Amino acid sequence: MNIAAKYTANFTPISLKNMDGVKLMNRTDTKFAFSIKHLQKIFENILPYYDILEIDNKRMHSYKSLYFDTSDRKFYNDHHNKRVNRHKIRFREYVDSGLTYLEVKLKTNKGKTVKKRLKVDKISNNLTLEQQQYIDKVIGTTLNVIPIQWINFNRITLVHKTQKERLTIDINLDYYNSNDNGNLRKIIIAEVKQERMSRSSDFIRIAKEMSIFPMRISKYCFSSMCLDNTLKQNRFKEKKIFINKIIQE
């Protein structure tokens, strides 16, 4: 029995269509990273407050992402250097819904995450002219970007019963490029997505009660520094130590 079947059987299902009201393409994000050993208790505690996304009788869904960056790793370095108004570019395949998008994410100086996306047929190592023009328009300048690395994981998506809030729980995370690979299979990355930051979130309250606290972690940046030790890492060292400590427990 997989994790989704074992821990989420008692949640009320919600369809993809019924999630239109919580797409939250312009939102605030609160992230958490914790050991997989806490997952069962998390699900038990949040059960009264959230419904679960179900697609074709599946409650855990596969995501495949190919990230792009400049040859000098502008997007990685902007994040490391805490630059505001920074971007990420990726192709993402939502495997179970049969959808693939070119996505451009902006982290604003107000702490907002703004995601814009263009539907595409498939993930590709090469950008078409239309896709390059779309990126240029969203970012506001022309950048020569290249495929950097893959990040794949499974996601469980929950929607709050009364608040405009979405909760994603990511597990089984793997990452790789042409030279190396790794995984965070002992780590859960959860993210509360809201229109505006509110500590009234039931997940945030429950996590705090379990001594699980918010942690800003980027899947792209964390996997990048694990795959390439020549990248600047000093501002991410504490997070790397924290994650490694959980892995070694």
Structural domains for the chain:
12-247 (3.20.100.30)
Q: Look at residue 22 in the predicted model and tell me its pLDDT.
A: 59
Residues of the chain with pLDDT under 70: 1, 4, 20-27, 197-199
Q: Look at residue 6 in the predicted model and tell me its pLDDT.
A: 83
pLDDT digits (tens, 9 = 90+) for 132-161: 999 999 999 999 999 999 999 999 999 999
Sequence-distant (6+) residues with CB within 8 A of 1 are none
Q: Look at residue 17 in the predicted model and tell me its pLDDT.
A: 83
pLDDT digits (tens, 9 = 90+) for 54-86: 988 999 999 999 999 999 999 999 999 999 899
Provide the β-strand partners of residue 42.
Answer: none
Q: CA neighbours within 13 Å on the CB side: how many for 132?
A: 11
CA 124 to chain centre: 20
Helix (H, G, I), strand (E, B) or coil at 189: strand
Structure tokens at 68: 């792009």
What residue type is 142 in one-letter code?
A: T
166, 141, 143, 145: which is closest to 156 by C-alpha?
166
Q: Look at residue 23 in the predicted model and tell me its pLDDT.
A: 59
Rounded distance between C-alpha atoms, residue 142 and residue 112, angstroms: 23
Rounded distance between C-alpha atoms, residue 222 and residue 227, angstroms: 9
